[in-house]
Amino acid sequence: MCRLHKSLYGLKQAPRAWYTRLSDFLLSIGFRASKVDTSLFILSDGTNIFYLLVYLDDILLTGSNSAMLHHLIQLLSSEFKLRDLGVVHYFLGIEVQSTGMGLMLCQHKYILDILTRAGMTSCKPVDTPVSPSIVILLPDHSFSDTTRFRQIVGALQYLTFTHPDICFAVNRVCQFMHAPTDSHWAAVKRILRYLKGTTSYDFHITTGSSFALHGCTDVDWAGSIDDRKSTGGHLIFFVRR
Amino acid sequence: MISWKSGKQRTVARSSTEAEYKALADGTTEVIWLQYLLTDLQVPSVSAPTIWCDNLGATYLSANPIFHARTKHVEVDYHFVSDRVAKKEIQICFVPSRDQLADVFTKLLPVASFTAFRFKLRVDPPLSA
């Protein structure tokens, strides 16, 4: 039996060891860890404020003072080997583009990947992600390739970050991950056909000066045919009053 | 828009008011978390957040939790909504169903209204097109 002096890449404990090392360094240069989001670190000196968001070794850093921001990057690179990619345009598979009004997020490449994996690159596009004619709850023939179903639906779940319009449709097929049937697969294909027509659509986040939180909640009472449970949804805006 | 969710509720609701009230509770938890996050980010908060709901019964229930035959069975934890309303941390307002934005997360919609909702969610075709 050997005892390791430091963590190795690929070990079960590696992410944790990395996080501890990174957060210890960040805390030592004055950042404080956010209480509500463990991957967020905040540095403020009264006049300026900096945010640092970590996802393993992908890091986003932003702040109110560009000279100090540069200094922070220098500090980080003195401790870790890093590559400064400049202004963000790709983070965790999401393409980011800055417009004059705010940010534009999209996952064009990701959608094309899913379509290729499902063999639906040349399907006929449709206007909505849910078909009124596919009743997906009646028990029928179980779908033969459950692994494929789960892979595609799992991939679609990650897509709801920039496609809130398919959120309901994806959630509906997700409820049958354990035992998909042919009709569920038909519903998945319907979503893919919808995506085929909206591949190039972007999700916009706009900026403003003073803000307030607004929420909307709604339910479809007893909407589920087999157990009469309701489907609920909410959305929250952070908007100009 | 910064946060959204669609999901099936865990328990069966005996009335639409009960179902709406549960959805309100879910929305409220998310709003409260976002408020904590904003405080952490040192963004000055302007006023108590507003949550819009298209069911009058649920709106009244959050302002004044009267327990009569139709609502007294609602699980206790959902009443934290009225607790927050009483503390003036959030406000619940009524919005007619036709102006309800969350519709697109709960039901199947015809093409015209789906497209209108998608526009409001700010999912748009590229500008050059």
Q: pLDDT tens across A70-112, in order?
A: 899 988 888 888 888 888 888 888 888 888 788 889 999 999 9
Question: Token pair for residue A129?
Answer: 């992600």
Residues on chain A touching B4 (C-beta within 8 angstroms): 164, 167, 233-236
- Alpha helices by DSSP H, listed for chain A, are 14-28, 66-79, 108-117, 146-159, 167-174, 182-198
Q: How confident is the model at residue A193 (pLDDT cuts 50, 70, 90)?
A: very high
Question: B106, B109, B119: best mutation site toward chain A, by most A Cβ within 10 Å?
Answer: B106
B52 touching chain A per CB within 8 A:
yes
Residues on chain B touching A165 (C-beta within 8 angstroms): 104, 114, 117-118, 121, 123
pLDDT of residue A139: 65
pLDDT of residue B107: 84
* Distance between CA atoms of residues B1 and A203, nearest Å: 10
pLDDT of residue B129: 46
Does the pLDDT at position A51 exceed 80? yes
Q: Across the interface, do B118 and A165 touch by the CB < 8 Å criterion?
A: yes
pTM: 0.83
* Distance between CA atoms of residues A160 and A155, nearest Å: 9
Element (H, E) at A96: strand A94-99
Residues on chain B touching A202 (C-beta within 8 angstroms): 123-126
Does the pLDDT at position A241 exceed 60? no
Contact B55, B22 (CB under 8 A): no
Which of A215, A216, A233 shows the shortest C-beta gap to B6?
Answer: A233
Longest dimension (CA), chain A: 64
Residues on chain A touching B114 (C-beta within 8 angstroms): 127-128, 165
CA-wise closest residue to A57 among A21, A86, A13: A21
Contact A235, B102 (CB under 8 A): yes
Element (H, E) at B39: helix B16-40
pLDDT of residue A240: 58
Q: Across the interface, do A236 and B2 touch by the CB < 8 Å criterion?
A: yes
- Which range of A11-15, A104-108, A231-235 scores highest in mean pLDDT? It is A104-108
pLDDT in tens, chain B (129 residues): 888 888 888 888 888 888 888 888 888 999 888 888 888 888 876 778 888 888 888 888 888 777 676 777 777 777 788 888 888 888 888 888 877 888 888 888 888 888 888 888 888 888 754
Encode A198-233: b = buried (16+ Cβ within 10 Å), e = exposed. Answer: beebbbbeeeeeebebbbbbbbbbbbbeeeebbbbb
Distance from CA of A140 to the nearest CA of B (A): 22
Name A215's bridge partners: A236, B51
End-to-end CA gap in chain B: 23
Mean pLDDT of chain A: 85
Does the pLDDT at position A10 exceed 70? yes
Q: Across the interface, do A163 and B123 touch by the CB < 8 Å criterion?
A: yes
* Distance between CA atoms of residues B127 and A204, nearest Å: 11
Distance from CA of A8 to the nearest CA of B (A): 34
Distance from CA of A135 to the nearest CA of B (A): 11
Q: Across the interface, do A163 and B53 touch by the CB < 8 Å criterion?
A: no
% chain A with pLDDT above 90: 22
Does the pLDDT at position A114 exceed 90? yes
Beta strands B91-94 and B50-53 are: parallel
CA-wise closest residue to B51 among A216, A236, A241, A213: A216
Element (H, E) at A176: none
What phi and psi, each to the nearest 5 degrees, are found at residue B7?
-165, 155
Name A61's bridge partners: A52
Chains A & B: contacts with CB separation below 8 Å? 220
| Helix, strand, or coil (residue B110) | coil
Q: How confident is the model at residue A209 (pLDDT cuts 50, 70, 90)?
A: low
Chain-centre distance for alpha carbon A225: 30
Distance from CA of A142 to the nearest CA of B (A): 22
pLDDT of residue A158: 92
Q: What is the ipTM of this complex?
A: 0.83
Q: What angle do CA B107, B109, B110 make, to 5 degrees?
A: 165
Does the pLDDT at position A219 exceed 70? yes
Question: A34, A217, A230, A235: best mutation site toward chain B, by most B Cβ within 10 Å?
Answer: A217
B40 touching chain A per CB within 8 A:
yes
Q: Which of the pair, A215 or A225, is modelled with greater confidence?
A: A215
Distance from CA of A86 to the nearest CA of B (A): 22
Directed axis angle between helix A146-159 and helix A108-117, to 10°? 170
| DSSP symbols for A217-234 | EEEETT--TTT---EEEE
φ/ψ bin of A102: left (φ > 0), alpha (ψ from -120 to 50), beta (otherwise): left
Chain-centre distance for alpha carbon A230: 25
pLDDT of residue A134: 62
pLDDT of residue A124: 92
Q: pLDDT tens across B15-50, in order?
A: 888 888 888 888 899 988 888 888 888 887 677 888
Encode A123-136: b = buried (16+ Cβ within 10 Å), e = exposed. Answer: beebebbbbeeeeb
Q: pLDDT tens across A123-182, in order?
A: 999 998 988 766 655 567 778 888 998 999 999 999 998 999 999 899 988 888 888 888
pLDDT of residue A47: 86
Distance from CA of A10 to the nearest CA of B (A): 32
Please list, in sequence order, all residues whose beta carbon lies within 8 angstroms of the beta carbon of residue A122, skipping any fewer than 6 positions away.
none
